[in-house]
Structure 1
Amino acid sequence: MSEHVPTLGTEKKPGSERRPGGRRFWSARRVPALLAAAVLLGGCGLLLYDVVSVRSGQPGMRWRRELAHSLSQRPLDQMWVQVGAGLAVALGLWLVVLAVTPGLRSLLPMRADSADAEVRAGLQRGAAALLLRDRAMAVPGVQGARVRVGRGRVTVRAVSHFREIADVREDLGEAMRAGIAELGLAREPGLAVRVERGTAGGKR
C-alpha cells in the first residue's frame, strides 16, 4: 500500500495582514475562466463583425438573421426554448458559485505562527487523516481505525478486540485531541469518536 506524504501548500500575498483565524485558500480556476473568456471573446467578435458589415452596407450574417427570425417565430412555451433557457441559467449559476466560493476543499489552512505574515501554509486533508490514524493505532486496544478529516469535524471509527469500549473511547479521544492540536490548524475541527467491538476473526 502506497504511503501518502504530508504536503504543505504555501501562498504569498504582498501586504496581507496576519489573521489568527486563518482564511481558506482560493482556487485559481484557470480552466473555467479560460472557457468563459473564450466564449465571450468569440461571441463579441462575431457580433462586432456583423455590426461592421451592416454599417458598411453589407447584409448581416445569414446565421444571425435566420436565428433572429426563428426565435421571433418560436413560442416561449416550446420545450426546446425552455430547455435552452434552463441550461443558460444553470451555466450562469455555476459560474457564480465558482466566483464566490474559495475551492481547494482538500487544503486546510494552518496557524500563522511565523513572523512572516505574507506566507500562509496549508495541510492536505489526506495527510492530516494519515497522521491522526497513526496516533489512533498507537492507542492500546485499537486494532483498526478509519479517520476522516472534514473542514469542521474529524470523524474516527475504531475497532477494538479487547479492553472495555468506554476505556478505549476515552483514551482514543484524548489521543485524537492531542493529535489535532499538533496539526497546527488555524481552526481546530470538532471530534467524533466511535469505537466498536471487533469480531474474533480479525480486523473490521
Structure 2
Amino acid sequence: MNRAEPGPAEPEPAHGPPDAATGADPAEPRGRSGARRAGRFWSVRRAPAALLALVVLGAAGLLLYDLVSVRAGRPGMSWRKVLTGDLATRSLDDVWTVAGAGVAVALGLWLLALALTPGLRSVLTMRPGPHGLRAGLGRDAVERVLHDRAVGVAGVASARVRAGRGKAAVRAVAHFREVPEVRADVEAAMAAGVRELGLARPPAVSVHVVRPPRKG
C-alpha cells in the first residue's frame, strides 16, 4: 500500500500589526476598517414634512370637492369665484400681491434650507467604527465630560463648559494655586478629554481661568 506524501503546507496570509491609530488590520480595505470620513447625521424633519403634507392634502381635497360639485351641476364655492376674480383684476404692484409673493418665497426658501441642510446641530459625529458603525454625542454629554475633567484638576473650584460644533469654551475658577499653573493643567485635561471622546472633528478648546470675586 502506497502512503500519500503530505503536500507542502499552504502559507499563512500575511497580516501586519493593527494600525495604532484605528486599531484595524492594514491588509483590510480602508472602506471596511472605518477609516473613511464620517459625515453628519441628517434630521428626519417630521414636523415640517407633516405640516406641508397636511396643507397640500387639505388644499387638494378642497379643490377636488369643488371640482366634483361643479361636475355634478352644483354651483362652485363662492371663495373660489372671489379668488379668481380678485386675481384677474388685481395688479402686480398691489400691496397684497407683493406681500403674498414674499410669503411664498420665504416659505420656499425655508423648505429648501430644510431639504439641503442636515440639521441635528446638537449631535457631534464620532469617528466611524468597524463595519461602518456610526455614533454621535450630544453637546450636553460633551459638556458634562469636559466639565468633570475640568473640576478634577487640582485648584479648580468650579467650571463652566459650552461646547459647539467647532469650539468648546471652558471657564474655570481657581481658588488656590497660581492661575498659569491651573490653566496649563486644565488645558492638558481638556486635550485628553477631547481625545477620549473620539469625535470625528474634535473641537478647538479655549480655556479661561479666573480668581473668585473678592467679598466686600
TM-score w.r.t. length of structure 2: 0.76
Correspondence for 1:151? 165
2:43 is aligned, of 16, 27, 51, to 27
Offset at residue 111 of structure 1 (A): 1.4
In structure 1, C-alpha distance between the alignment counterparts of 2:190 and 2:79, rounded to whole Å: 65
1:1-150 matched pairs, under 5 angstroms: 18=34, 20-52=36-68, 59-113=75-129, 115-117=130-132, 119-150=133-164
In structure 1, C-alpha distance between the alignment counterparts of 2:85 and 2:112, rounded to whole Å: 31
Tell me which of the two structures has the higher relative contact order, counting C-alpha pairs closer than 8 angstroms and 6 or more residues apart. 1
SS of residue paired to 2:189: helix
In structure 2, C-alpha distance between the alignment counterparts of 1:20 and 1:132, rounded to whole Å: 26
Q: 1:187 to 1:20 in 2, by over 3 A?
A: farther
In structure 1, C-alpha distance between the alignment counterparts of 2:175 and 2:43, rounded to whole Å: 44
Moved more, 53-62 or 176-185: 53-62
Moved more, 37-46 or 16-25: 16-25
How many matched pairs?
A: 184
* 2:199 alignment partner AA: L
SS of residue paired to 1:166: helix
In structure 1, C-alpha distance between the alignment counterparts of 2:173 and 2:36, rounded to whole Å: 36
2:185 is aligned, of 158, 165, 171, to 171
CA RMSD of aligned residues (A): 2.2
SS of residue paired to 2:209: strand
Contact map agreement 1:26 1:103 (CA 8 A) in 2: yes
Correspondence for 1:12? none
Correspondence for 1:10? none
The runs of 5 or more residues in structure 2 that have no matched partner are 1-30
Offset at residue 78 of structure 1 (A): 2.7
The runs of 5 or more residues in structure 1 that have no matched partner are 1-15
Offset at residue 44 of structure 1 (A): 2.5
SS of residue paired to 1:116: helix
SS of residue paired to 2:49: helix
TM-score w.r.t. length of structure 1: 0.80
In structure 1, C-alpha distance between the alignment counterparts of 2:207 and 2:115, rounded to whole Å: 36
Once the two structures are superposed, what CA deviation does each residue of 1:82-123 show, in whole Å capped at 9, x if it has no partner?
22222221111111111111111111111123x231x32111
Offset at residue 42 of structure 1 (A): 2.2
Offset at residue 173 of structure 1 (A): 0.6
2:204 is aligned, of 178, 185, 190, to 190
